[in-house]
Amino acid sequence: MTAALHSNVANPTTPVPSRCGDWALYEYPVVTSTNLVAVNLPAWSAVRADTQTNGRGRFQRNWVSDRDGLWLSAVVPISQDKIERRALPLAAGLAICDVLHELGISPRLRWPNDVLVKDRKLAGLLIDQFVLHLAVVGIGLNVRNRPEALDPALAHQTARLSDLMPRPPELSVLTNLILRQLGQILTELKNDGPPAVLLRVNKLWGSPRSVELDLDGQLCRGLFTGVDPQGRLALSDAAGQLSFYDAHEVRHLTET
């Protein structure tokens, strides 16, 4: 989770929000990054834009945000409890996977919260924390867009809904489904506690995989075995010895 205060560069005139279940939804044709527009909004606000000029991934990576993809940020209250905070990004990934299952798609998660179909990235999440009690959950989901047309390096690496189902729902419908499910999972996280939600998350990683972790320069190999009840990545070495890592310690996870 990024704990930096960003200025909201080029925030266009604020539109009148529409109601989307419990959420107030602000929609824009173009913004720099929906997460940055969401920085000044209260909990249960959401921002969607048709395109982003500076879509952001984790660790300052770029997120290609061309027209006809879903670029959405949701402002949610965040607990001061360390484990609940760790569980939030994982819970958000679970919410996206739940919606995809509803649409008849079988996704898997790649730690911490990439959503893949057949090893191609369909969706990514970026959680920012700009103020103490709120987090911004940024969701990028390829729908009918073509990210590889803008960034050829993404060729054969991305998936989009329109290649996975004959008629993907309109962006407004997807926005509704995702916000509803995110709200539902956050209620579960609060009422049932992180271990119950993490148990569901652990069913989404697919079969155990050999991975290499980039711990900010230092590389470490092992078998990814999911997350522990405290939300930490669990890595097993050749002798079966487990090590645990917090998300901010792992710059990148590569499946080997």
Q: Which residues bind ligand BT5 (CB under 6 A)?
A: 33-35, 52, 55-59, 61-65, 71-73, 114, 121, 124-126, 138-140, 142, 147, 154, 158
Residue 194 Cβ vs ligand BT5, minimum distance, rounded to whole Å: 22
* Closer by beta carbon to ligand BT5, 57 or else 193: 57
- Measured CA to CA, the distance from residue 183 to residue 197 in angstroms comes to 13
Report in angstroms how near the CB of residue 56 gets to ligand BT5 at its nearest: 4
Report, in Å, the least distance between residue 120 CB and ligand BT5. Answer: 8
| Residue 211 · residue 65 · CB < 8 Å | no
**CA 30 to each of CA 4, 11, 67: distance values in angstroms, whole numbers, following the listed order:** 23, 9, 9
Pick the closer one to ligand BT5 by CB: 206 or 229.
Answer: 206
Nearer to ligand BT5, 139 or 234 (CB): 139
> How far apart (Å, rounded) are the C-alpha atoms in residues 204 and 131?
30
Cβ proximity to ligand BT5, 34 vs 185, nearer residue = 34
Query: Minimum Å distance from CB 62 to ligand BT5?
Result: 6
23-31 vs 45-52, strand pairing mode: parallel
Taking phi over 0 as left and psi of -120 to 50 as alpha, with beta for the rest, 193 belongs to left
